[in-house]
Structure 1
Amino acid sequence: MVRISSFGVGGKHKSTKFALYCVGLFGLALLVDLLWASSNSSPSIYQSIVSQENVVFPSFAQIKEEDKKKKDGIDKKRVLADNFADLDAPVLNWEKMANAPVPRLDGAAIQIKDQLFVFAGYGTIDYVHSHVDIYNFTDNTWGGRFDMPKEMAHSHLGMVTDGRYIYIVTGQYGPQCRGPTAQTFTLDTVTKKWRDLPPLPVPRYAPATQLWRGRLHVMGGSRENRHTPGTEHWSIAVKDGKALEKEWRSEIPIPRGGPHRACIVYNDRLYVIGGQEGDFMAKPGSPIFKCSRRNEIVFGDVYMLDDDMKWTSLPPMPKPDSHIEFAWAFVNKNSVVIVGGTTEKHPETKKMTLIGEIFHFEFDTQKWSVIGKLPYRVKTTLVGFWKGWLYFTSGQRDKGPEDPSPRKVLGETWRTKLEL
């Protein structure tokens, strides 16, 4: 008979357990050391998962992702803060006024004395307005509605005034992402009569438009596919709501093309501010020209056209800003404010990011500042300034203080006392 020693079997079993115990302690020590080293250099991910009662160790996948961020030099919080966070600004006291008769997105507005003429725009993505409403700053009321010509564009208009006549250039005809028209008109704001002007050489969406030295200038915008930036620049001589020439004249192209920018004349200089490259396009084959998303690049570039017909780059806006073609107003003899707009899309969600700041530009010093915030972030708002009061109406607002993406199209009207 062969006896098996109980000591031999028990000894091997205890030795194995002891070895596994040592390996476990060693592995735990390595993990704790790794966590300590990682937390000293990059505490953010770990601080978020440690509570006062329990310590939860991150997974190796989390550690691997953190290491990848270090190698790539990525700091997401810093990127978001630089490009998308609201800028510091004084708090303004806003007063809500009478709502516009209809909500508007991508509408247009021109101020003449104490009246704000508000044109067209989307009511919804499938419905566009084809009339004009008037807001009176003196008695703070809406009224005087009248129709636009049937051939006139409904959004993405170029527009400017000489103090009586309003010149309306090209734009999108219809809802969703339909095509542009080259049709051009003038409105006599006294008689409310319309007149045709020679059509633009080619259609454009939301071109920069301004009167300068007796000529109606039209620049940039988006080309016929709604997405490709146009850099062309045309002008035509006009006076008292009439064209003095039969054809548009080619001028020096704008340095950077694209739609949705402010265009201003100050001290006999022409300024073009902000804008974007790219826009939504009609989905191929869609019978209703349904809008489909495309890449957009928003910028804060500022260009000035001088006596020699040369473009000069000036200090850029505090942050990239677009959808501001009718969101500006002179507030004194040498400065202008730009209200709201859109900035670069969120890098992760790819959603449009709205702006709630008011930017102030002094022409003489060529300096920008942030002078206040709106009640909410808003794009394509329509702005006026009268006797110290800054007004804005309509546009598309954000989803709330914590979410700057677009939500509801509005007809609200607000004002604040502005002292500069």
Structure 2
Amino acid sequence: MSRFAQYKHKHKHTSSKLVFLLACAGLLGVALFADVLWFSSSSSLYSSLSIASNWALEKSGIFIVPKISTKEADKATEDKKKRVPERFVSATFADLPAPDLQWERLASAPVPRLDGAAIQIKNLFYVFAGYGTLDYVHSHVDVYNFTDNTWCVRFDMPKEMAHSHLGVASDGRYIYVVSGQYGPQCRRPTAKTFVLDTETRKWQTMPQLPAPRYAPATQLWRGRLHVMGGSKENRHTPALEHWSIAVKDGKALEKQWQTEIPIPRGGPHRATVVVNDRLLIIGGQEGDFMAKPGSPIFKCSRRLEVVYGDVYMLDDEMKWKILPPMPKPISHIEFAWVIMNNSIIITGGTTEKHPVTKKIILVGEVFQFHLDSMTWTVIGKLPFRVKTTLTGFWDGWLYFTSGQRDRGPDNPQPKKVIKELYRTKLSL
């Protein structure tokens, strides 16, 4: 054989060997890459098959996967969950320390409702309207009897009456219902006003408001029905206007609403309380969801909202005074309050949005405002975080029903609209 032929034969043999080695290395690399992907994608599966996998890799002499215990894998998973923004709650927006309360679940309301209204007259609890879902609103009243703990009566509201975001107040027999949103989603407000005689269950009309409003702060004080703030006709712009009209025995004594001193800060979803001949406005927010432009169904669209914990009091000189603010900013508490032992009790609500995710954060605490010392304390926890609760008090028991609750103990975002009714014994 010539030198050239020998060289050619040797070179061909060497090339074949090199190709073979490269092919083997490639196959091993693919196998390794697949094994690493498999490991990273299923930690639970890996824990049951790690011995066989490790053995194969050790025999190859290429790569050894470090053994991870189930405890370490669980800790890694937990650490990963903690890093997800949706599971993170800043200390500013987290639940406040509070003692546990023993809650008893009673017969649920006939329907779930959000942004409804409620008035207590002695042992009867009148629950009005509200959303059933975002696309369906109620147009009736349910009545709960605190004495025998039963839902005892249901009757219809006038067809022209608003279905949510109502302003409601009572003198102990007559219930005044002012403005609010007419229809589901984010439909327009109405300026119409009605009064219910709870003894005859008959409705009458009253003079309309000067302008429609969503969720105005509404209360009877010194013979006049006061309507303050709320949101303007676009559902988002805070209103500062304050109107009043003289009323007696379910009738308006004047033909028109009178202009009063404007409220210091506008917006909806605040508690309005008359106690010790003082008118107090508590919490609330500026801004709200509004109808998406051009939507034929007035589909709700999120806008910037600012929740606050401001407290104002109207004094004898008809001037607003600033009182100590709530422990944290809270709104959606229009009917979430009761008066007990010279103090105001408030349950649940919403607070400022999450600083990272910008999601709505619900409130799960029970607050007490001491009227003698003008101070706030946190006196307990609700069974879960919830907004727009409808709250009553009878014979030492604090009751709440309806609203929208959280997604679970670790997720304060709103989810399910509820109809459950709970109570707890309070000794303050």
- 1:323-342, aligned counterparts within 5 Å? 323-332=332-341, 334-342=342-350
How many residue pairs end up in the alignment? 347
1:387 aligns with 2:399: no
Q: State whether structure 2 residue 90 is matched by structure 1 residue 80.
A: yes
Corresponding position of 1:154: 163
Secondary structure of the 2:420 match is strand
Q: Where does residue 188 of structure 2 map in the other structure?
A: 179
RMSD: 1.6
Q: Distance in 2 between matches of 1:133 and 1:157?
A: 16
Deviation at 1:78, TM superposition (A): 11
Aligned residue in 2 for 1:410: 418
Q: Is the 8 A contact 2:89 2:354 kept in 1?
A: no
In structure 2, what is the equivalent of residue 31 of structure 1?
Answer: none
Note if 1:277 corresponds to 2:304. Answer: no
Does the alignment pair 1:220 with 2:229? Answer: yes
- Superposed displacement of residue 143, structure 1: 2.2
Q: SS at the partner of 2:357?
A: coil
CA distance in 1, matches of 2:170, 2:318: 22
Residues 193-215 of structure 1 show CA distances to partners (whole Å, capped at 9, x for unaligned) of: 00100000000000000001100
Structure 1 residue 353 and structure 2 residue 336: aligned? no
Regions of 4+ moved over 4 Å = 51-54
- Which residue in 2 is equivalent to 1:15? none
Gaps of 5+ in 1: 1-50, 55-76
Q: Which residue of 2 aligns with 1:120?
A: 129
**2: distance between equivalents of 1:188 and 1:194?**
7
Q: TM-score, normalised by structure 2?
A: 0.80
Q: CA deviation at 1:349?
A: 1.2
- Cα distance in 1 for residues equivalent to 2:221 and 2:404: 31
Distance in 2 separating the partners of 1:217 and 1:227: 21
Deviations 1:39-66 (A, max 9, x none): xxxxxxxxxxxx9999xxxxxxxxxxxx
Residue type at the aligned position of 1:404: P
Per-residue CA deviation, residues 103-131 of structure 1 (Å, 9 max, x unaligned), is 00000000000010000000000000000
Q: How does 1:12-411 map to 2 (within 5 A)?
A: 80-82=90-92, 84-332=93-341, 334-411=342-419
Give the SS at the match of 2:376.
strand
Q: Describe the SS at the equivalent of 1:411.
A: coil
Which of the two has higher C-alpha Rg? Answer: 2
CA contact (8 A) 2:236 2:288 kept: yes
Give deviations 1:199-245, integer Å, cap 9, x for gaps: 00000000000001100000000000000000000000000000000
Distance 2:380 2:282 in 1: 19
> Amino acid of the residue matched to residue 394 of structure 2?
W
Q: Which residue identity is paired with 1:366?
A: M
Identity among equivalent pairs (%) = 75
- Aligned equivalents of 1:336 and 1:266: distance in 2? 9
Q: Which runs of 5+ in 2 are unaligned?
A: 1-67, 73-86
TM-score by structure 1 length?
0.81
> How far apart are the structure 1 equivalents of 2:351 and 2:155?
34
Please say which of residues 161-170 and 261-270 is displaced more in the overlay.
Answer: 261-270
* Matches of 2:374 and 2:214, distance apart in 1: 29
